[in-house]
Amino acid sequence: MVPTCFTASKLSAPTLQTLCRNLSVHLPNTIYSFSRQVSPSTSRFRHHHVRFQRRRLFSIRSKSDNDAEPLREYDFDLFTIGAGSGGVRASRFAANFGASVAVCELPFSTISSETTGGVGGTCVLRGCVPKKLMVYASKYSHEFHESNGFGWKYDTKTKHDWGTLVANKNAELQRLTGIYKNILNNAGVSLIEGRGKIVDPHTVDVDGKLYTARHILISVGGRPFIPKIPGSEYAIDSDAALDLPTKPEKVAIVGGGYIALEFAGIFNGLKSEVHVFIRQKKVLRGFDEEIRDFVGDQMSLRGIKFHTEESPQAIVKSASGSLSLTTNKGTVEGFSHIMFATGRRPNTKNLGLESVGVKTNKNGAIEVDEYLRTTVPSIWAVGDVTDRINLTPVALMEGGALAKTLFQNEPTKPDYRSVPSAVFSQPPIGQVGLTDEQAIKEHGDIDVYTSNFRPLKATLSGLPDRVFMKLIVCAKTNKVLGLHMCGEDSAEIVQGFAVAVKAGLTKVDFDATVGIHPTSAEEFVTMRTPTRKIRQSPESEGKLGIEANATAGV
Amino acid sequence: MARKMLADGDLSQTSQEESQYDFDLFVIGAGSGGVRAARFSANYGAKVGICELPFHPISSEVIGGVGGTCVIRGCVPKKILVYGATFGGEIEDARNYGWEVNEKLNFNWKKLLQKKTNEINRLNGIYKRLLSNAGVKSLEGEGKIVGPNSVEVTQLDGTKYSYSAKHILIATGSRAHRLPIPGQELAITSDEALSLDDLPKRAVVLGGGYIAVEFASIWKGLGATVDLFYRKDLPLRGFDDEMRAVVARNLEERGINLHPQTNLTELTKTDSGIKVVTDHGDELIADVVLFATGRLPNSKRLNLEAVGVELDRTGAVKVDEYSRTNIPSIWAVGDVTNRMNLTPVALMEGTCFAKTVFGGESSKPDYSNIPCAVFSIPPLSVVGLSEEQAIEQANGDVLIFTSTFNPMKNTISGRQEKTIMKLVVDAETDKVLGASMCGPDAPEIMQGIAVALKCGATKAQFDSTVGIHPSAAEEFVTMRSVSRRVTAGGKPKTNPE
């Protein structure tokens, strides 16, 4: 296919817009290209201008946008504020589709603030990646224990050098932020360092310099939030916890969410004394109830002390420098560090949102429609700043969808059904689809298959490690609605099953699949008898009971 | 639910015939397939007897044990040793993560062996209990077929018992086969390799199959010098060529000496060890020489000639698609039929047999998209077609998606070993025809992918699945650009690439 190329220099803007709109209606399958006049004074923009001549470039606007907006020229087709997972994905893809794109990001720092960030965003610099590296590091102590059962011995007690880990981790982060910059550069995206602020629906101010854009994307992410209590200034958040200069000897973690559990595992594995304070009776609110119980038990067995139904009230620093945490139930003393993993908040302050009329909810999250558009038609938002499902791959999906919507004439809604996720606690959790409670609510009658077993490795290591697996199946349709696992390799195991669940496969399909022996994962395709059947309507019970017996096969 | 003797037709005859026989089913061999068939048949209401040879880790004509190859001399003990050996690399990797581990590590082979034996004894007990809980009568001794409906069991002390059975199931499995070269008695098979008194310092492995590759990895991981000899250019014939090359490279980078296109011609005992001579005229000295040169079905001493059960030329029992032999009352499942020699396949065959014969539902085992794993270090796992098979079989073009990446763990450990993933897709239907992976956790990752393939998932369905971040597995759902397109019917040599 030979792209038709219109260049802005040859056509006046009104003609161009009309032409494009008409063409997009009549010739939906043709790839066109047009270029918008860019600021000739800036050399890095000129670079794009040249590229555009030979690359397909296509920008569509929705009808309302076209009608409402005065015809004008912009520096960019897309200006992205925030170069994290969602922002980089949207920018790159938009550029690949031919748009002229700029992205601004705060200067690099391992600790985020109003003035620091870094290309790569939370995932790469203060989230998924460093967290997983720390998990790898901390898991070794468990592996050393396991290996004893397999005949390995160590002359002296294994020691961990915190400095080596942090130095190697930071070197890796520097490498990754460099890679992300290269990715943007190779895609032809202009990277501007500084704090972006929206001035009007088509203008962004970056540290005093103004840039105009047809579309603005807000992808500024979120930051840890520490509630104000007396002494909360002594607490650290996850940013700081990933970059401590020395090993914490005794650490309190406040919170029962996935971040709290992941750090509890990390510090415990690296030989700190770990106390976790949670408000609820159980960890991981919102997760499958059985998984919540199971992971709490397994983590306790590895030496983590859980303080349930305790809310923090005050932190006091003693003369010796150690910290004490007072809760509604009492005071625990002697902490070297107190970490709060009490949620994250969208970074929507001082973005100029109020002045242009971008609506946020009470948590400060930007409200978007199903195409990721804010209340201002030219302004869009993806990722944690919208506070929906705050996961890197979801931000990537949103970024990819937005680029398609804006620059490939293919309006695309992100699909939030059956998004799998993992908690890198030790042992880890993987899950996709619905919990029991959600499944009952949405589908009524369900069959639940569970398996709780001691994996082969644990029989040799002698450690009390177990694996828990669960399938939730719709009694009417036989579809697998939910799949949950806690145990070694959960995150890796669940990915493939997520493809199956997303594709709407049934329990019969699972059963038809032959196992890979000997693995843990094969348990998911060899669950023959339901652990329990949950029935809403008494009249359906008898009938379905027979069907279930027939499929169970034993 | 009424029990229907489908294989024998009329239900009304069943009750009359039942009294004629000691058992509805007699199973010879209590390995994966036999135990599964026996249990499930009993659960359907059949009266079942099963015989198995006395227990010992090393199998022979007269020694076996409840649990069979998988539990006693295969999957389970092998995986235990692989776990043990994997720690070797893990401990090296730990150093860059800040762990101060002594340069010289102490590995106690005897301890591992003892614990492995304990675990196998435990499993052997579990299998026995499974049978007795299902109401299956277990007999210890060697089973022979003396008629279409009668078997003879010879106990260890020589006592013989005869039993009649409406159906007989042969599930005697297979045994390692030695290459007939001078000095072959100096070599060991995988049975002995799983129970060696001492860890070899210098090991020679002959064979290019999964067993050879797994033992090479085990011994190398535990600190031995390992030389691996095989006839072809690459190990693991039958697997995807690209993945075979990856496995070979990984083995080499983990320090195993590879000798492709090389056979062993002679073994001699010397004071310093076993002298190994190759067909290239090279010589080396080893403490242990493992022959992993294939396995043969255990069909010799079953007296099959007497009743006329047909065997193929390798000695495998010939069966139809319902696992029935040419004698209508005699059936066979598992390795003795030499179809697809995997535990879960024997389980499937056993299940289908029980359903067909006693469950009132004729069931054929389905051999499509059966996943499998090679527990080399790092492991390989595949499901569906290899690239070569897909090109051979596809009607239209085949799209190949590959991803080669440095696993995140290696970014700090410094290990130079890439993980490789591959999807083979039918260009016309978008169906994923095959998936393979070589890298840590591959077998665990592949199981879920296998469910998707089994049900004909398309590449679009893979793409629409959101990744789990950060994992290796997410790569399978984020392969956006095609690595190459192979034209319909294109044989590798006519392929423009």
Could you tell me the mean pLDDT of each successive run of 10 residues in chain A, 554 residues long?
A: 36 35 36 37 40 40 45 91 98 98 95 93 96 97 94 83 94 94 97 97 97 98 96 97 95 98 98 97 96 98 98 97 97 98 96 96 97 98 97 97 97 97 98 96 96 96 97 97 98 97 96 96 96 79 39 30
Residue B385 in contact with partner chain A when CB distance is under 8 A = no
Q: Which residues of B touch A169 (CB under 8 A)?
A: 412
Instruction: Give me the mean pLDDT over the B227-240 stretch.
Output: 97
Smallest CA-to-CA distance from B73 within B19, B133, B25, B123 is with B123
Rounded mean pLDDT of chain B?
93
**Which positions of B are catalytic?**
469
* CB interface of B with A, residues 435-474, below 8 Å: 441, 443-452, 454-455, 457, 461-462, 464-474
The confidence band for B489, taking pLDDT boundaries of 50, 70 and 90, is: low
The residue to which tokens 């309190």 are assigned: A252
Q: Do B455 and A500 touch (CB under 8 A)?
A: yes
Q: Which residues of B touch A399 (CB under 8 A)?
A: none
Start-to-end CA span in chain B (Å): 60
Q: What is the CA radius of gyration of chain B?
A: 24
The pTM for the full model equals 0.89
End-to-end CA distance of chain A: 58
Burial class (CB in 10 A: 0-12, 13-18, 19+), A173: buried
**Token output for B290:** 């493992």
Nearest by CB to residue B477, choosing from A136, A491, A499, is: A499
Cβ contacts (< 8 Å) between B102 and chain A: which residues? 154-156
Cα–Cα distance measured from residue A195 to residue A215, given in angstroms and rounded to the nearest whole number: 18
Torsion of CA A190, A193, A198, A204, to 10 degrees: -40
Chain A nearest C-alpha distance from B404 (Å): 17
Residues 392-421 of A with CB under 8 A from B: 392-394, 396-397, 415, 418-421
The verdict on whether residue B173 carries a ligand-binding annotation is yes
Kindly report the nearest CA distance between residue B346 and chain A, in angstroms.
10
Q: Could you say which DSSP state residue A373 is in?
A: B
Please report the residues numbered 139 through 168 in chain A whose beta carbons come closer than 8 angstroms to any beta carbon of chain B.
140, 143-144, 146-147, 149-156, 158-165, 168
B496 to chain A, any CB pair closer than 8 A? The answer is no
**Do the annotations mark residue B172 as ligand-binding?**
yes
B3-10 long-range contacts (CB < 8 A, ≥24 apart) are: B3/B44, B3/B45, B3/B358, B3/B360, B4/B360, B5/B357, B5/B358, B5/B360, B6/B356, B6/B357, B6/B359, B6/B360, B6/B361, B6/B362, B7/B167, B7/B324, B7/B328, B7/B356, B7/B357, B8/B166
Q: Is the pLDDT of residue B361 over 70?
A: yes
**Torsion A109-A115-A117-A118 (CA) sign:** negative
B371: contact with A, CB 8 A cutoff: yes
A123 chain-B contacts, CB cut-off 8 A: 469
- Pick the more confident residue, B491 or A524: A524
Cβ-contact A344, A314 below 8 angstroms: no
Cβ distance of B466 and A146 shorter than 8 Å: no
A427: which chain B residues are within 8 Å (Cβ-Cβ)? none
The answer to whether the Cβ–Cβ distance between A500 and B366 falls below 8 Å is: no
Peptide bond just before A427 cis, omega within 30 deg? yes
The tokens for B423 are 């999807």
Q: Are A470 and A483 in contact (CB under 8 A)?
A: yes
In chain A, what's the furthest Cα-to-Cα distance? 80
Nearest by CB to A492, which of B94, B371, B472?
Answer: B472
Decide: A291 and A470 in contact? Cβ < 8 Å: yes
The reported pLDDT for the residue numbered A539 is 52
How much is the pLDDT for B394? Answer: 83
- Whether B441 and A153 lie within 8 Å, measured CB to CB: no
> Which residues touch A261 (CB under 8 Å, ≥6 apart)?
A276, A283, A284, A295, A299, A423, A425
Q: Answer for the pair A145, A158: CB distance below 8 angstroms, yes or no.
A: no
Q: CA of A264, closest CA in chain B: separation in Å?
A: 18
Strand positions, DSSP E, B188-314: 202-206, 225-229, 257-259, 264-270, 273-278, 283-286, 288-291, 295-297
**What residues of chain A lie within 8 A of the CB of B449, using their CB?**
496, 499
- Look at B311 and A11; give whichever has higher pLDDT: B311
* Known catalytic residue at A215: no
Q: How many CA atoms lie within 13 A of B29 on its CB side?
A: 33
Cβ-defined contacts of B21-24 (< 8 Å, 24+): B21/B149, B21/B164, B21/B165, B21/B166, B22/B47, B22/B49, B22/B163, B22/B164, B22/B165, B23/B47, B23/B48, B23/B49, B23/B137, B23/B163, B23/B164, B23/B165, B23/B166, B24/B48, B24/B165, B24/B166, B24/B167, B24/B358
DSSP letters spanning A294-310: HHHHHHHHTTPEEETT-
Q: Is B117 exposed, middle or buried (0-12, 13-18, 19+ CB in 10 A)?
A: middle
Pseudo-torsion of CA B3, B7, B12, B13, nearest 10°? Answer: -130
- Under 8 Å CB pairs connecting chains A and B tally to 276
Provide the token pair at B384: 């569906």
Cis peptide before A420 (omega within 30 of 0): no
**pLDDT digit string, tens, across residues B417-467:** 999 999 999 999 999 999 999 999 999 999 999 999 999 999 999 999 999
- What is the predicted pLDDT for the residue at A72? 73
For chain B, percent of residues with pLDDT exceeding 70: 94
Q: What pLDDT score does A388 carry? A: 95
Q: Is the ipTM of this complex over 0.85?
A: yes
Residue A538 confidence (pLDDT): 61
